[in-house]
Structure 1
């Protein structure tokens, strides 16, 4: 059913038919490379990832020491949370505030945490007594207060061993007191809250473990079903911590397969994924069972390993622990503390207690409202979709959220709320639309023509495909329908043999039935395929009421079924500066650019870069992003130490500092051909940029655009720059000016034909010392001449405060001059939201269905065809019927 995103988009309108220099020895051009500069600030201890970076208001860096080797020197032999004492980032946008840390070469360097300046000091370590010594840091408990790690069952990781995301929520204006929220990447999942303060006398940060708590052990979180695999997260614009559940066990199909493939084949053999075995007795045993059942025809059941810990989650929620022959400590983590017990395994006795977890309650973003209350209020955002969420990024329009789902063949997603998220008195009434990505540029899939592009050279053009609209309360009601499913139901629904008489035979029968026809205890394969059929025929808002749940509870399967680009491999980091707005960047970290991003099928068919890629995407006026531009490209794993030692590999968390720099945190322990195994924390400094804005202007009217500079860390002493219009038959430059605070300057020089404006200035007033953030260089006034579009080009030669030339990137804009009347009635189309597109086609001052009909009727008219960019609403650089559909959806009215 992955046949037609275009058909689905067009269903609402009847009849629409709708880099840098290469590195020596690199197999992939541009790998490794950086658009900007990178400096190594820290290496973490042997075995550990760099996770949970956070920078306090005073510039102090904090991050987690996740799953370190127990062979490290103390205190780095135990997981914990620490900060860099004695150093603060200058927050001026420049990497000159520290000398680069050398690569860790000796055993001592590799088995400890090192920083370029200051010292890494532990604030809290796993299993330390907290909450009046009634709990242990990071350790979930049963309702009776028993630590969960004492019970039999598979482990995703050891309790407290995997601290990840850190978000500090200040409780005073100075930002020196508050609560630190820390994720623990395990099942059952956990989030700790530690009171944290800065000692005014010593300047040191101090943790109050006596009054710290584990959120996993609160009734408020148990009422939501608890959490699993709490990975990264975000601090919202309304100043709360959001923790993301990385539910790796959610795939119901493996890798590139679709549910439609299973239905068409009449079997899930070779295709089925791990989530279908959620309520199997001893669920992680499915891979060995498949290997036994099918021999040479066995396959990797994607996500099966992440079912580890599900039974412990049941015990945390109150299920009665059953007997086992020993503690099975098999784990997804290579450095678990507990040694594997010989021959230890679960007996396979089903858990029949109704406290057995519901799979549709996991894989969401969890907002901890009232962060300073005795117990914060956890809210799961079901409307944002269900996935292996590494992290979200909440935007400052308070409506838009981007999310990255980790693992092979996964997606990046977007959600847009109907109203501002914090405006809902009851968060369960939060409603909005969930979107999946569609990569549209041909260069990304050039392998079809025999020419495979490098990820370093090609930006990804992304359209956002709507999956569905719902409210939190609606989705919760759908989820609740599956609350009473237990492991006994797996056997009683799918096996003919009575499990109470012959458990082994019943399990095998049930396994094979689920592989053939899917798990009938949950959403069925047939329901997903039918949802996709109706989606393509009627659009995302036209499916039957009973099928509306599909894209929210089976997000990945639904998106794959309608042909969205669910091909990203390990989409992990995602972040923007706290006050990001239009023109600012959202950074996306793709930890490994390989597998489904580098094969010969789908929308992504490019050269592989095992070390991954960091993209940035610019927010437009509506907080949308449409182009992912590669700015940091990791090494190929064929590259030797000369290339790999000083290149960033396998970026996991990314953290955008307020001064525009980005912390890049590695998760690639011992991968690549570096001379050292350690993961490191790097600081990315973007290239300085000078950009001219875009604007729409009516014929005979005027509009102003700004020339702005960003990421110029040391300020400007002065320089020259110019703006040019590519076609003066469309628009002319009529005047220009400097900001009021500009120092010495030559009056802007305007060409007689209005084609260019030239500027020369010296910043003697030091007004352009912006500490890396964006500021205005000049303003240009344009006059509309004739209908059409013209590029606005900018060039610049600038000096910094040290008199050194600033090597800048330039970004062009576009000016669109409104067309003559489309209807021939004299009413000129208008641009109500100032985005350069003329949605008000009939010029009556509003956007409604009449505009859609008029554009449809006049698609071939000269006034439309000669002004294609004015009506290119889906921004694919051409005029087509999908633009009509886009306008129809934007109008938001019924026929």
Structure 2
């Protein structure tokens, strides 16, 4: 365990945290971002394979056993010509990746015309759509990607008023194919739908003799609409995921709404200051009537002393989740929600933000299991190692963490997944001072893992269940003298909001419990805390990790993946979409030089499947870089997928910066064999780095992959 104390860290962090808490939303596209040396840079080769249709992200890449590539077309611009005006899932016919050492394709040029920008383009093959948003499925009783209320009402904008986290069916993300035959030609495609309520669909797929794939939408289903998933409370914001070593879909809930403190602040800062003003995050307002309006309310209440309520926007869809669970939509009024509180059924915040294992994938109704014991966060993805015990996880967003979970025994060996037991860890970067002295391209981040706690899945599930039944009525009754049935006025809601700002939301885990857990952790160690406090690191994972000084400053940790069956000596890849804000400012402990385009790190698996060094292998551009540089550089990496031969698919969710086109791309990264050092720029001189320029801010060949245009 790393030797440091929370007290010494807190003393120096309060002022910095307060300064950070009044900042606005992230600064990812700052055109005045100065040049960072050796950015962009690629250690190996980076080739663009595809550009997606205008407005859409490249999400959910999956390579079938025969080398065929599939990905999702997520939230495309509605003005694109059909069929690219709707979200879709498609594959590239007429092309298969070869794993014999050959690249197999010539790099795709940048799109030059509006017609090219509004279609899906590829270096080889044609994008064939298998399914599109809201296609009729399951005998016509459902629409693809759309959750329903228990009585079968589709939860769409024409049925329900109020804030939403994405339109239902518009945001397909992760895709994983579970084969049901030895040849891998038949099976089920599981797809995440990144919305609230969340969803995972299952579509039967088959491959014909000519290599073409066919989707059976008649027999497809939305898992959200099954009793098995609804009994778990459903899901929120299902983002990326992985195929487990035991051949099931692992779906990651990206519950952005979990921060209880904003940015670099800690709960200890609140206790020391005696107020949460300037520090509270969105979680504290989860069961507030109209929760997304808390930012506007805080701005109104506090004026010049207002602050950014981190992730306030991500509690959009919580009320829709209540309707999904069966609540009466009492607050519907015209084009928005009124102040009538939902009091019959309301989602428990501690039920969301987990890895969901879709067990029995070929059964009539799959059996979803939430791994509560792996911690609660805005999970982008899990990566389970071949020991079937070690799992690396990434929490997306500003001032978040990467985490590790190690099961006591191989995960599939537990007859009952609720018996799964293991230890949750948070990262501590040990070479933070050294990281200030060189650009990110030359800085390996050295990590030690800090134990947060040990539990079983059943134990954490029981702790979560203690917070069931709390509603918007409780928000008002707990924090004011209001009684159900009385009128809810703006003045009453303000009184409740101010009480929560000052003393925290008393309906959930309290500030005092988190600070007491940290005090006991410091004096007794993680195994010595009181039984009632053992829950803290599992259901308030980010707050707990921050409280003991772990490095919870990563900005948008997006993708983690390793080759299937990875062994010690192989690599795990980590995508950090934006290296800025609290990774690069003076508010936190990490103070790296800013790279708005992000960084892809890799870490070598050690003998025990541990990792301790994150080595940068792809460095994105600065926001201020011109098109000659930005056009061919990887910007804001999102999903990562390591293919069987070790090449890495890199998807973009790009803040387009100075590009001449506004499309996200899918790149194929080929690492340099055996490289542990400076890759294609061994002397450290910007002048001969083909991905950067001459070191004086002048673009060179403008190609982050080392190939001329």
Q: Tell me if TM exceeds 0.5.
A: yes
Q: Does 1:688 align with 2:685?
A: no
Distance 2:3 2:187 in 1: 47
1:591 is matched with 577
* Secondary structure in structure 1 of the residue aligned to 2:124: coil
Q: For structure 2, which runs of at least 5 residues remain unmatched after alignment?
A: 8-32, 680-705
Q: CA deviation at 1:92?
A: 2.4
Distance 1:591 1:297 in 2: 30
Q: Describe how 1:848-859 pairs up with structure 2 within 5 A.
A: none
Q: Describe how 1:381-392 pairs up with structure 2 within 5 A.
A: 381-392=371-382
**Which of these two proteins has the greater Rg computed from alpha carbons?**
1
2:353 and 2:376 in contact (8 A); partners too: yes
Distance 1:672 1:462 in 2: 31
Distance 1:667 1:36 in 2: 22
Q: Does 1:233 align with 2:231?
A: no
Q: Match for 2:617 among 631, 656, 659?
A: 631
What does the per-residue CA deviation read over 1:793-817, in whole Å, with 9 as the maximum and x for residues that have no partner?
A: xxxxxxxxxxxxxx9xxxxxxxxxx
1:5 and 1:563 in contact (8 A); partners too: no
1:183 is matched with 192
Distance 1:36 1:232 in 2: 26
2:132 is matched with 125
Distance 2:309 2:275 in 1: 14
1:250 is matched with 258
Q: Which has the higher contact order (CA 8 A, sep 6+)?
A: 2
2:341 is matched with 350
Q: Describe how 1:717-728 pairs up with structure 2 within 5 A.
A: none
Q: CA deviation at 1:59?
A: 0.4
Q: Describe how 1:427-442 pairs up with structure 2 within 5 A.
A: 427-442=417-432
Deviates more, 1:594-603 or 1:259-268: 594-603
2:264 and 2:587 in contact (8 A); partners too: no
Q: Describe how 1:449-848 pairs up with structure 2 within 5 A.
A: 452-498=437-483, 500-504=485-489, 505-669=491-655, 671-689=656-674
Distance 1:598 1:500 in 2: 50
Q: Match for 1:211 among 203, 219, 222?
A: 219
Deviates more, 1:118-127 or 1:500-509: 500-509
Distance 1:48 1:434 in 2: 35
Q: CA deviation at 1:93?
A: 3.8
Distance 1:603 1:7 in 2: 14
Distance 1:182 1:571 in 2: 21
Q: Describe how 1:40-439 pairs up with structure 2 within 5 A.
A: 40-95=48-103, 97-149=104-156, 150-200=159-209, 202-326=210-334, 344-353=335-344, 355-439=345-429
What does the per-residue CA deviation read over 1:448-507, in whole Å, with 9 as the maximum and x for residues that have no partner?
A: xxxx42111101000000000000000011011000101000000001244643412221
* Secondary structure in structure 2 of the residue aligned to 1:53: strand
1:618 and 1:627 in contact (8 A); partners too: yes
* Secondary structure in structure 2 of the residue aligned to 1:6: coil
Distance 2:646 2:357 in 1: 26
1:244 and 1:391 in contact (8 A); partners too: yes
* Secondary structure in structure 2 of the residue aligned to 1:348: coil
What does the per-residue CA deviation read over 1:625-677, in whole Å, with 9 as the maximum and x for residues that have no partner?
A: 000000000000111011111110000000000011000000015x2101111
Q: CA deviation at 1:323?
A: 3.9
Q: CA deviation at 1:296?
A: 1.3
* Secondary structure in structure 2 of the residue aligned to 1:252: coil
* Secondary structure in structure 1 of the residue aligned to 2:526: coil
1:780 is matched with none
Distance 1:371 1:644 in 2: 42
Q: CA deviation at 1:442?
A: 4.0
1:362 and 1:386 in contact (8 A); partners too: yes
What does the per-residue CA deviation read over 1:677-728, in whole Å, with 9 as the maximum and x for residues that have no partner?
A: 100000000001179xxxxxxxxxxxxxxxxxxx9xxxxxxxxxxxxxxxxx
Q: CA deviation at 1:105?
A: 1.8
* Secondary structure in structure 2 of the residue aligned to 1:367: strand
Distance 1:254 1:93 in 2: 47
Distance 2:581 2:522 in 1: 28
Distance 1:662 1:155 in 2: 34
Q: CA deviation at 1:611?
A: 0.2
Distance 2:661 2:434 in 1: 33
2:603 and 2:612 in contact (8 A); partners too: yes
Distance 2:39 2:287 in 1: 44
1:704 is matched with none
RMSD, aligned CA: 1.8
2:2 and 2:448 in contact (8 A); partners too: no
Distance 2:309 2:589 in 1: 24
Distance 1:468 1:94 in 2: 46
* Secondary structure in structure 1 of the residue aligned to 2:245: coil
Distance 1:243 1:166 in 2: 9
* Secondary structure in structure 2 of the residue aligned to 1:174: coil
Assess, with a 3 A threshold, how the Cα gap between structure 1 residues 349 and 576 changes in structure 2: closer, same or farther.
same
Distance 2:100 2:525 in 1: 48
Distance 2:101 2:371 in 1: 34
Q: How many residues align?
A: 651
Distance 1:604 1:459 in 2: 13
What does the per-residue CA deviation read over 1:370-396, in whole Å, with 9 as the maximum and x for residues that have no partner?
A: 111111110000011000000000110
Distance 1:54 1:619 in 2: 23
Distance 2:230 2:434 in 1: 44
Distance 1:67 1:526 in 2: 42
Assess, with a 3 A threshold, how the Cα gap between structure 1 residues 7 and 323 changes in structure 2: closer, same or farther.
closer
TM-score normalised to the size of structure 2?
Answer: 0.90
2:432 and 2:590 in contact (8 A); partners too: no
Assess, with a 3 A threshold, how the Cα gap between structure 1 residues 689 and 272 changes in structure 2: closer, same or farther.
same
Distance 2:4 2:94 in 1: 56
* Secondary structure in structure 2 of the residue aligned to 1:593: coil
Distance 2:374 2:204 in 1: 30
What does the per-residue CA deviation read over 1:498-540, in whole Å, with 9 as the maximum and x for residues that have no partner?
A: 4643412221111000000000000000000000000000111
Q: CA deviation at 1:219?
A: 0.1
Q: CA deviation at 1:213?
A: 0.3
Q: For structure 1, which runs of at least 5 residues remain unmatched after alignment?
A: 10-24, 327-343, 447-451, 692-710, 712-806, 808-895
TM-score normalised to the size of structure 1?
Answer: 0.71
Distance 2:296 2:97 in 1: 50
Distance 1:454 1:538 in 2: 39
Distance 2:239 2:274 in 1: 36
